[in-house]
Amino acid sequence: MQNRPSASSESSVVNKYIFLGLAIMIVSEAATVAGIEPFASWNTPIAWTGFIIFADAVVYGARGDSWMRSSPREFAALCLVSIPLWLVFESFNLVLRNWHYVGLPENVVLRTAGYAWSFATIWPAIFEGAELISVWRTGQAGWERLRPRFAAAKQSRGALREPQGDLSLSKVEASASVRAGGGAPAPVQKRRAGQAGWAGRAGQVTAERVLASQITHPADPAHPADPAHPAHPADPAHRGLAVSTIGALMLASPFLVAPAVARYLAAPVWLGFVLLLDPINAVRGEESLQRDWRAGQFNRTINLVLSGFLCGGLWELWNYWAHAKWHYTVPIMENLKVFEMPLPGYLGFPPFALECFTMYVFLRSLIGRSGRPIAL
């Protein structure tokens, strides 16, 4: 029988990672300000690695659950997909021409490695920052209310992986205790890939996603659910389609105007993916901002918005004294800057954090994988 680490030894390990993350950030920034290499040229990826280690350790210390410690495979996948997801915005910048890089290594291999490392930290930083904000906002008491539901979801994922013939979900239904008004367990249906479309109608979702929905939106015992008004009603077909169409037009707008005008259209790009993809995520039964809002749940949105501000400030702080860095050429209030960023540009970080969420959820759903709840 394998001995589990004691609470004190585990707390000691967590504290070491907290101090390690802090040390990496402080040393890298101080060396960058002093012009010491390799920190001056690699401050962005080094400092963000320190932040991710720090935030993950703080979250794990408060909750006993975190991206790196509890979902290491998905965390590694998140780092990998962060690279192509950010390249989407680099592609838009070919038209927007709102930023450019200077001081990069002349060696192509080193430059490519620097790009990859830096881009691989973007989505993890936003999500780790959101959970750090959540710990700060709700504390241990808030997590204790969610802990049993996380445990139930893990057990149910194990049950779903077992061979079950026609995949009868009676055991999952019982363990999930999905009840309508305190009665018998509500039926949990298996969603077939591609069935959910703009015809809408909530779609059929996998038992695991229903359980994830319970985690992110726990029932209020003082207000039992009404079977006629489910907690996550499907977005009406016409409304979801209209919102996604608006998002698509916003993303297309820089390519439909003259280059001189396109430089002013950063805002549609930083909002467009939220409008395009979030209704699709809702219809497919995935985590969705719309489903949160319709259920009266705003914690995820608040955590992501505040993470956007936090990460945006750190991006600009760590970039300002770096040798390898980016400069902005935003044609709005260019002379009124905080670090390198014109002041209005900071308003773009919160919607970017929301885009990170919607884009990752959409990508994860395409490969048919459920994962850890995000930004809660």
Q: Within 13 A of 306's CA, how many CA atoms are on the CB side?
A: 18
| Residue 24 in domain | yes
How far is it, in rounded angstroms, from Cα 266 to Cα 289? Answer: 22
Residue 320 has pLDDT above 60, yes or no: yes
Q: Considering the domain boundaries, does residue 376 fall inside one? A: no
Kindly state the average pLDDT of the residues 189-201: 38
- Name the band, by pLDDT with cuts 50, 70 and 90, for residue 190: very low
For the chain, the domain total comes to: 1
Residue 328, strand partner residues: 99
Query: How confident is the model over 77-123, as pLDDT tens digits?
Result: 999 999 999 999 999 999 999 999 999 999 999 999 999 999 999 99
Residue 372, in any domain of the structure: no
Residue 3 domain-assigned (yes or no)? no
Is the confidence at residue 60, as pLDDT, over 60? yes
| H-only helix segments in the chain | 7-33, 39-63, 67-70, 72-96, 108-120, 122-161, 170-176, 207-216, 237-252, 259-262, 266-283, 289-294, 299-320, 349-366
Residue type, 102: V
Q: Which of 142-151, 248-257, 288-297, 342-351 has the lowest mean pLDDT?
A: 142-151
Element (H, E) at 99: strand 99-102
The answer to whether residue 62 is domain-embedded is yes
Residue 374 forms part of a structural domain: no
| Listed range (127-141, 232-246, 287-301) with the worst mean pLDDT | 232-246
Token pair recorded at residue 130: 């959101």
Cα–Cα dist 206/146, whole Å: 21
pLDDT confidence of 3, banded at 50, 70, 90? low
The answer to whether residue 219 is domain-embedded is yes
Cα–Cα distance, 188 to 204 (Å, whole number) = 8
Q: What pLDDT score was predicted for residue 275?
A: 97
Predicted confidence at residue 311, as pLDDT, reads 97
Q: Looking at residue 165, what is its pLDDT? A: 37
Distances (CA, A) of 214 to 107, 210, 211: 50, 6, 5
Q: Which of 309, 302, 245 is nearest to 272 (CA)?
A: 245
Flag whether pLDDT at 225 surpasses 90.
no
pLDDT band of residue 199 (cuts 50, 70, 90) is very low
pLDDT category of residue 336 using cuts at 50, 70 and 90? confident
Domain range enclosing 13: 8-366
Report yes or no: 151 and 63 within 8 Å, Cβ to Cβ.
no
The predicted-structure confidence for 6-47, as pLDDT tens digits, reads as follows 667 778 889 999 999 999 999 999 999 999 999 999 999 999
